[in-house]
Amino acid sequence: MTSADPIRGIEYLGYTEREASFLYLVAVHSGYFLRRQFDQFIDRANGAIAQHFLLRAKRRGHVAVLDFGQQRHVYHLFYKPFYRLLNNPDSQNRRRKSDAEIKLRLMALDYVLLQLGEEFLETREAKVRFFTESLHVPPASLPEAGRYSQISFADHILISHEAISKAPRFVYVEEGTRSLIRFEKFLVSYKQLFQALTRFELVYLSDSDLNFVGAGRLFEKLFPQSRMANAHALYPKGPDHLLEWLRVRARYDSGLGGLAMQDFLLLREGNPLYTSREHERLYQQWRVRRFSASEIPALMGAQSSTFSFRTELQRQSYPIFQHRHLPRKAPTFHSMERSPHRSAS
């Protein structure tokens, strides 16, 4: 949350505390929601409470109603002042999305509603601070959005962490595609971050188990146990790389010369990686006593790497999105989304 509690600000817009808390979660994690998700959050069956809440939100111009046919509706929280309260007025969550992206965001919100006790990193800035300051991950190891953007964590990956150990959990949401191409691109973009961590868990979340086996094999192929065993946040490229950097830096600082081009390339690669107080302390130890790469984990207090991958089946119901494009009568707001107690959902 921001320093000024945004939930109080949302209450001032005309909502109860429960309604404001729910809208806060929607604004942070999704931008879109279903009526059943609100019912789940307030622990009530379909009834007048949700009816009044949705009518009020629409009449005040805070949400847009997307009719997907079959008496199913998706609600889009697009009102800009909500996002100003989160210090994020240009949030992508208030933008109109494709059908596939809408489903992905609804699935992400379902996961969050089932894990309200977890510590989620809610903004890009919070994610950067957590990994660089709490886990000492070099900024160069953070994932970027792609070739046209240098912004870290610009994707819609859910990230939470344990309160004591700070071990992060990444949740990759698959909205039902039959291909693993997007998941493979995700693994490649997060490769350096994963290798820089001592512990982490990756959850592959989908409403179909079609890709579960393939996703597990792809993860094992790109991140085998042997390669991860020597990965540590303080030496993401392994202790041998750090040791060689110590040797080259010591020679460079001495001014004796005799460095080859590969030595300068090593310094260029290692200098942005090894910037913490622990690295400086290790460098001073190296200048006093030469040690081997096998001693580095003990000298830096490293723990062995532990990581895990698991799949999770999302058993919720979502609108059949192709019905949105079929011709039909103009929808009315009072034909609410069908209750999960009265439908197959």
Q: How many CB atoms lie within 10 A of CB 259?
A: 13
* pLDDT(15) > 80: yes
Mean pLDDT confidence for 266-270: 88
The whole-number pLDDT of residue 235 equals: 77
**Structural tokens at position 280:** 């400086």
pLDDT band at 257 (very low <50, low <70, confident <90, very high): confident
Tell me: the pLDDT tens digits for 296-331? 877 776 545 578 888 998 888 888 665 455 445 554
> Strand, helix or coil at 14?
coil
Mean pLDDT confidence for 138-165: 77
Tell me: the pLDDT tens digits for 106-143? 999 999 999 988 889 998 889 999 999 999 899 989 99
Tell me: the pLDDT tens digits for 277-290? 788 888 998 888 88
CA–CA dist 40, 61 (Å, integer):
24
**Structural tokens at position 133:** 């300051």
Of 329 and 11, the one with more pLDDT = 11
* pLDDT(232) > 70: no
What residues contact residue 143 under an 8 Å CB cut-off, 6+ apart? 152, 153, 155, 189, 190, 192, 193
- For the chain, the average pLDDT equals 83
The whole-number pLDDT of residue 188 equals: 92
Report the alpha-carbon angle 120-227-180, nearest 5.
60
Mean pLDDT confidence for 193-200: 87
pLDDT band at 48 (very low <50, low <70, confident <90, very high): confident
- Residue 29 vs residues 91, 159, 212, 282, 317: alpha-carbon distances, Å: 10, 11, 24, 41, 19
Report the alpha-carbon angle 263-264-265, nearest 5.
90
**Structural tokens at position 92:** 């992508």
Of the candidates 119, 120, 114, the one whose C-alpha atom is nearest the C-alpha of residue 43 is: 114
What residues contact residue 33 under an 8 Å CB cut-off, 6+ apart? 22, 26, 74, 75, 77, 106, 109
% of the chain with per-residue pLDDT over 70: 85
**Structural tokens at position 8:** 């109080």
Secondary structure letter of residue 304 according to DSSP? -
For the chain, give the longest Cα–Cα distance.
82
Q: How many CB atoms lie within 10 A of CB 189?
A: 16
Q: Note the residue count of the chain.
A: 345
The whole-number pLDDT of residue 343 equals: 42
CA–CA dist 319, 99 (Å, integer):
10
The whole-number pLDDT of residue 233 equals: 65
Mean pLDDT confidence for 254-271: 86
Contact yes or no for 168/126 (Cβ under 8 A) = no
Q: How many CB atoms lie within 10 A of CB 99?
A: 16
The helix (H) or strand (E) run that includes residue 25 is: helix 17-29
Q: Is 284 exposed, middle or buried (0-12, 13-18, 19+ CB in 10 A)?
A: exposed
